[in-house]
A and B are shown apart, each in its own frame.
Chain A
Amino acid sequence: MKQRRDTLLALAFLAPAALLLTGVVFYPILQTFYASVCEVDRKGSPGAFGTLKNFHDLAASDVFTREIIPQTLVWTAVVVVGTMLISMFVALALNEHLPGRRLLRAIVLLPWATSLVITAAIYTWMLHPTQGPVNGLLRAWHITDTPPAWLARPELAFASVIAVGIWVSIPFTSTVLLAGLQAIPDDLYEAALIDGASAWQRFRAITLPLLRPVLLVAVVLNVIYVFNSFPIIWVMTEGGPANQTHIIVTWMYKIAIREREFGQGYAMAVITFAFLLVFAVVYSWLFGREEVDRL
């Protein structure tokens, strides 16, 4: 009796959230998959079902296969690896009893509270070739009189957006890693110290293995966030110069929303899903094995 009343009440209480998530998340996912194998009109509504034309169009596009996909992989790999290495150091440092620790932690969190768009706008100004502070400092400090146009040269533009990508990812990642570090019991380190282990040995033998589940989570979440990251590139370069800083999601936005090629856009969204799904499966397989090992 009580169980049934609880069930009815739970249904009523969950209804608003379920409605919202169905309308804005679950239904659009289904529509994306469905529309990717349909003919799609210029308004984005799916028409005749059962065609692989959208995927064929994508596969036939040299820009997509030879530039966008490799750039997406480089962007994701470099930003995630850079973020993990720097955040690991930041987390280890913040786990120490440093002077001004609370202030240091607040500063590290700052980029997290700032809108990605604002961050990107500040960096766009900072890297402006003639009026930007970065080149302004290079001239003022007599490092060079002819500093580069950072966002106008493909390789420098790509390096710049990658650097900003790392900059914005550090707060979240170092926070997760720090929480993981704080969960490692102190007596393990004390015991190792008594046994005469060096700092590096303690890091290798205690910190890394115990932190491994947290490291995996941090890597996976970062891959998801970075792979899907849109505002930084869109504001700083809009994919340019000559498409050299586009990644799949920015290219998808340009093709679908700007150029109204919705069919190809849906196909790219499905490819993005597929990539992240494969990644999540590999991850949970790794993570699952990890759990078994520990038992």
Chain B
Amino acid sequence: MISSPGQRTFFFIGLLPLIVIILLPYAMMLSGALKSPAEIVAPKFRFIPESPQPGNFVEVFRAMPLGRFFLNSTIIAIGTMLVVLACAIPAAYALGRLRFPGRRPVLFAILTTQMFSPIVLIIALFSQFTGYGLLEGWRCYIALIIANSAWALAFGTWLLTGYFATVPREVEEAALIDGCSRWQALTRVLLPICRPGVVTTMIFAFITAWNEFVFALTFVPGDQFRPLTVAIPSFIGQYGAQWQLLMAAALLATVPVVVMFLLVEKHLVRGLSAGAIK
């Protein structure tokens, strides 16, 4: 867009307060995570802690079973990632590469699932999963992985279909003529070419599951199976005014996904905004 220096200054000055507002909670989280138990409850707030306590990040693992919560989140997120890959890759291949009747309605049906929110279906899922005995003990992992996968599947399939479509058919046909099966052509030729798409889908599925709340809140039977998203807000009451530990836990839970997000940001954003614009 072409614009005068005056306009650019106007936008820049207007954007700055918004950037500050976006960064403020993160700055306060970091500041809070480094404060001593005495300073965190002081009536006046200072951004720079008087004596920074990096030990809080170790202390928090002793004060609460944070390691276990990380493990739970990781199991659920990796499980979701694998299920999404196993379902989305073949589905995207069928939709992007094979000619069959009903292709458009199927694509449409998959994309419509994104319009539903987990919260509206939570009651039906709760009663069903209870019936299957999935909400007892470690089996809640299965319930969470299945539910999270279904909600990450539409975007994964959409993204991969788009990537597969960019690869010329000739590349694959050459492999078929050389004696590859369809399956080999997919795994040995198409997937390596579409690696950014596969990685983006994996990370998207991981982040979706890692950040998910409603399913975890509803399906998890006991403390030891809680992922971070359920465990962290429950500290608010449980651990009294130990905000410095809460913020340390929040920061530790946030950093891995923010890093992952920034790694694939370009691919992810392109996929998501293309989905919204087309």
Q: What residues make up the interface of A, taking CB atoms closer than 8 Å to B?
A: 3, 6-7, 9-14, 16-17, 20-21, 23-29, 31-32, 35, 43-45, 86, 89-90, 92-99, 104, 106-126, 128, 130-137, 139-140, 167, 170, 172, 175-176, 178-181, 183-184, 186, 189-190, 193, 199, 213-214, 217-218, 221, 224-225, 228, 230-231, 234-235, 249, 252-253, 256-257, 262, 265-266, 269, 272-273, 276, 280
Q: Does B122 contact A253, Cβ atoms closer than 8 Å? A: yes
Nearest Cβ on chain B to A164's Cβ, whole angstroms:
9
Once bound together, how far apart are the Cα atoms of A126 and B27, in whole Å?
11
> What residues of chain A lie closer than 8 Å to B236, measured between beta carbons?
121, 124-125, 235
B274 within 8 A of A: yes
B: contact size bracket:
35 or more
B90 within 8 A of A: yes
Q: Does A133 contact B277, Cβ atoms closer than 8 Å? A: no
- The number of inter-chain residue pairs (CB within 8 angstroms) is 297
> What residues of chain B lie closer than 8 Å to A228, measured between beta carbons?
117, 119-120
The residue on A at minimum CB distance from B15 is: A93
Q: Does A221 contact B87, Cβ atoms closer than 8 Å? A: no
Interface pairs (16), CB distance under 8 Å: A10-B98, A16-B87, A17-B90, A17-B110, A24-B151, A44-B127, A95-B1, A104-B15, A106-B265, A108-B22, A109-B265, A124-B233, A176-B277, A193-B2, A269-B121, A269-B123
> What residues of chain B lie closer than 8 Å to A214, measured between beta carbons?
276-277
Q: What residues make up the interface of B, taking CB atoms closer than 8 Å to A?
A: 1-4, 7-8, 11-12, 14-15, 18-19, 21-23, 25-26, 28-29, 31-32, 40-46, 83, 86-88, 90-91, 93-95, 98-101, 103, 106, 109-110, 113, 115-117, 119-128, 130-131, 146-147, 149-151, 153, 157, 182, 207, 210-211, 213-214, 217-218, 228-230, 232-233, 236, 241, 243, 246-247, 250, 253-254, 257-258, 260-262, 265, 269, 272-274, 276-277
Main secondary structure of the interface of A (DSSP, over half): helix
Once bound together, how far apart are the Cα atoms of A38 and B181, in whole Å?
51
Q: Does A136 contact B44, Cβ atoms closer than 8 Å? A: yes
Assess A122 versus B94: contact at CB under 8 Å? Given A16-B86, A21-B113: no
> What residues of chain B lie closer than 8 Å to A217, measured between beta carbons?
276-277
Once bound together, how far apart are the Cα atoms of A23 and B113, in whole Å?
12
Q: Does A9 contact B22, Cβ atoms closer than 8 Å? A: no
The residue on B at minimum CB distance from A179 is: B273
Q: Does B277 contact A9, Cβ atoms closer than 8 Å? A: no
Q: Does B11 contact A96, Cβ atoms closer than 8 Å? A: yes
Q: Does B258 contact A13, Cβ atoms closer than 8 Å? A: no
Contact of B91 among A16, A97, A172, A225 (CB under 8 A): A16
> What residues of chain A lie closer than 8 Å to B42, measured between beta carbons?
136
Q: Does A14 contact B257, Cβ atoms closer than 8 Å? A: no
Contact of A131 among B28, B241, B250 (CB under 8 A): B241
Assess A266 versus B123: contact at CB under 8 Å? Given A117-B213, A176-B276: yes
Contact of B123 among A44, A116, A234, A280 (CB under 8 A): A44
Q: Does A235 contact B120, Cβ atoms closer than 8 Å? A: no
Q: Does B150 contact A113, Cβ atoms closer than 8 Å? A: no
Q: Does B211 contact A117, Cβ atoms closer than 8 Å? A: yes
Q: Does B258 contact A133, Cβ atoms closer than 8 Å? A: no
Q: Does A262 contact B25, Cβ atoms closer than 8 Å? A: no
Once bound together, how far apart are the Cα atoms of A36 and B146, in whole Å?
24
Q: Does A29 contact B116, Cβ atoms closer than 8 Å? A: yes
Main secondary structure of the interface of B (DSSP, over half): helix
Q: Does A32 contact B120, Cβ atoms closer than 8 Å? A: yes
Nearest Cβ on chain A to B106's Cβ, whole angstroms:
6
Assess A133 versus B90: contact at CB under 8 Å? Given A112-B261, A262-B127: no
Q: Does A25 contact B113, Cβ atoms closer than 8 Å? A: yes
Q: Does A45 contact B146, Cβ atoms closer than 8 Å? A: no
> What residues of chain A lie closer than 8 Å to B11, measured between beta carbons?
89, 92-93, 96, 98
> What residues of chain B lie closer than 8 Å to A109, measured between beta carbons?
261-262, 265, 269
Contact of A133 among B45, B87, B217 (CB under 8 A): B45
Q: Does B90 contact A13, Cβ atoms closer than 8 Å? A: yes
> Which of B1, B113, B123 gathers most chain A CB within 10 Å?
B123
Q: Does B130 contact A43, Cβ atoms closer than 8 Å? A: yes
Once bound together, how far apart are the Cα atoms of A176 and B182, in whole Å?
36
> Which of A92, A96, A121, A167 gathers most chain B CB within 10 Å?
A121
Once bound together, how far apart are the Cα atoms of A276 and B121, in whole Å?
14
Contact of A176 among B46, B131, B150, B273 (CB under 8 A): B273
> What residues of chain A lie closer than 8 Å to B44, measured between beta carbons?
136, 139-140
Once bound together, how far apart are the Cα atoms of A257 and B75, in whole Å?
25
The residue on B at minimum CB distance from A207 is: B1
> What residues of chain B lie closer than 8 Å to A175, measured between beta carbons?
269, 272-273
Q: Does B276 contact A235, Cβ atoms closer than 8 Å? A: no
> What residues of chain B lie closer than 8 Å to A89, measured between beta carbons?
11, 14-15, 18
> What residues of chain B lie closer than 8 Å to A93, measured between beta carbons?
11-12, 14-15
Once bound together, how far apart are the Cα atoms of A123 and B83, in whole Å?
34
Q: Which A-B residue pairs are the 4 nearest by beta carbons?
A: A136-B45, A44-B127, A228-B117, A113-B261
Q: Does B233 contact A265, Cβ atoms closer than 8 Å? A: no
Contact of B1 among A189, A230, A257 (CB under 8 A): A189
